[in-house]
Chain A
């Protein structure tokens, strides 16, 4: 068949299909189109693919082939787009997707837990024994600044004098921006064969461990621990989860197994993201608690400690028990 005949025969189909694509692609008109006009979309799309392969086989002009390719690509994008439904996905994620993923990745999470808590505990003990050691980990100026945040005389703990007038909501915004940003960088650091993640985990561990011990040495333990107890379960778990995701990502580069490094990375990337979403979820809770609950100095310490312990139990029960038996569904 000559090209001209071919074009004459199919031109109408192509034009009609292009028109459908125009309609679907413009978001405004999408709703009104869906039912009637798209009935034969799949058939038309396949006809178009057939035309393209014929045109290539018969070596029709490059111009025609390019035109058909463009149409096929647009059709492909419309046909194979994924349904978005984000709210339903978040709901499923919190109810069982996230805890199930944590159990599935327990190996990496235990590793991250060890890498985070062991240095923290060691440096905590060391600073208790040798108080000056804190200055070799945290700069003296910063130590003084942090000390001022937990002065027992303050009515808003954890804010320091210059921040004392900030409202709770302002601090919430600050915590979200700062803490979740750090978690993202911690995860992305895994790309350097886990080294970046290890740096963030250990650095944070030393920082927290040394400061906690220093607060005891300085006699500020009451305001400090009442402040951190409320949000610690969510924040520390969030840091560990982001770290686990980063280590898993880096491990795919170090040891890709039976896949090429590129493919291993893609496979693992999806799984890691569930942990990162989980870390976001926990860090959002942490920021909320930290801003609106932890800083309130008028609540009795015993209540604050109880809430902290309840938080730990909640996190542990949620991650170990929630959504069991529905694992298959959460994939």
Chain B
């Protein structure tokens, strides 16, 4: 399948599909982190500069830690997410899907220096483009990858089950193939993402093959008869009686 998903097999004998994150979200996360790092350095420098030469030593130490270990500390202690990655909803995991530990995180972040060359992450970008898991050089050596995780949900979505409970299950007249069944269920699941008119437009393509779609007035919604019928079929397919 032409898709940016990485299939991994876990010890329990099943596979997980992980959505690998590409160049753009990773670059965005990097820029956010860069800004945070600059601000942190700026604030610390402002504080420590009041402490004279001792403060200068502290600034250099802080600079060292922030330059090289900022991503490491966040990745190890914050589920593979630096603040920038968190904002973009991406995270670093090992190739087997387990959370990154010290050694892999340090490898991938020290090798940033190699990714950065010759300038502006040139090698890293080329490596990501030639690798189907979008790995930069550091990821290759550390055995890690960056995947999409859930962003914090703003509101709880109405579940498919609830949506379908409003509809009386209706058995399709003919035998549907598995693909057809999936198409219908997918249609219902995606219904929240589409506008009503788009839903109706899609469903109406099917009306020539469905009986009783004309004439009957929809009870209380804007959904066209064909759409409602599809919803009913989905309810039946999902196991309503």
Contact = CB atoms under 8 A, between A and B. Distances in A.
Interface in A174-209: 174, 176-177, 180-181, 184-185, 187-192, 196
A232 B78 CA distance: 39
A52 interface: yes
A210 interface: no
Interface stretch (A61-69, A121-129, A298-306, A321-329): A61-69
Contacts of B181: 59
Interface in A44-85: 45-46, 49, 52-53, 56, 59, 61-63, 69-70, 72-73, 76-77, 80-82, 84
Contact of A59 (B56, B60, B79, B178): B178
A174 to B, nearest CB: 5
Interface stretch (A105-113, A139-147, A161-169, A214-222): A161-169
A118 interface: no
A312 interface: no
Interface stretch (B20-28, B32-40, B140-148, B219-227): B140-148
Given A72-B16, A187-B110, A171 B150 contact: no
Contact of A262 (B10, B56, B140, B239): B140
B16 A174 contact: no
Contacts of A228: none
B57 A170 contact: yes
B141 A266 contact: yes
A53 B110 CA distance: 39
B204 interface: no
Interface in B108-148: 110-114, 117, 123, 137, 140-143
B177 to A, nearest CB: 11
Interface stretch (A13-21, A28-36, A268-276): A268-276
B13 interface: yes
B13 A53 contact: yes
Contact of B117 (A76, A187, A192): A192
Contact of B186 (A3, A62, A273): A62
A331 interface: no
Given A173-B60, A266-B142, A185 B113 contact: yes
Classify chain B: how many residues form its interface, as a range. Answer: 35 or more
Interface centre among B103, B141, B189 (most CB of A within 10 A): B141
Contact of A61 (B53, B67, B96, B185): B185
Given A173-B59, A187-B110, A196-B114, A4 B178 contact: no
Contacts of A167: 52-54, 57
A49 B97 contact: no
B102 A86 contact: yes
Contact of B54 (A2, A89, A169, A268): A169
A177 B64 contact: yes
A77 B63 contact: no
A169 B150 contact: no
Contact of B101 (A84, A181, A187): A84
B113 A188 contact: yes
A189 B113 contact: yes
Contacts of A6: 239
A80 B98 contact: yes
Given A84-B101, A184-B110, A269-B107, A166 B53 contact: yes
Residues of A contacting B: mostly? helix
A118 to B, nearest CB: 26
Interface in A261-298: 262, 265-266, 268-270, 273, 276
Contact of B14 (A49, A81, A196): A49
A249 interface: yes
A59 B56 CA distance: 64
A155 interface: no
B16 A173 contact: no
A181 B67 contact: yes
A270 B107 contact: yes
B70 interface: no
A73 B239 contact: no
A4 B101 CA distance: 40
Contact of A173 (B14, B56, B96, B98): B56
10 contacts: A3-B239, A49-B10, A62-B189, A76-B10, A80-B11, A169-B57, A169-B58, A172-B57, A189-B114, A276-B110
7 closest A-B pairs by beta carbon, nearest first, are A173-B60, A2-B239, A4-B239, A188-B113, A173-B57, A191-B114, A169-B57
Given A72-B16, A177-B63, 20 more contacts: A4-B239, A5-B239, A25-B79, A56-B14, A59-B181, A62-B185, A63-B160, A69-B16, A84-B102, A174-B57, A177-B61, A181-B64, A181-B67, A181-B68, A184-B110, A191-B123, A192-B117, A196-B114, A269-B143, A270-B103
Interface of B: 10-14, 16-18, 52-54, 56-61, 63-64, 67-68, 76, 79, 93, 96-99, 101-103, 106-107, 110-114, 117, 123, 137, 140-143, 150, 159-161, 178, 181-182, 185-186, 189, 237-240
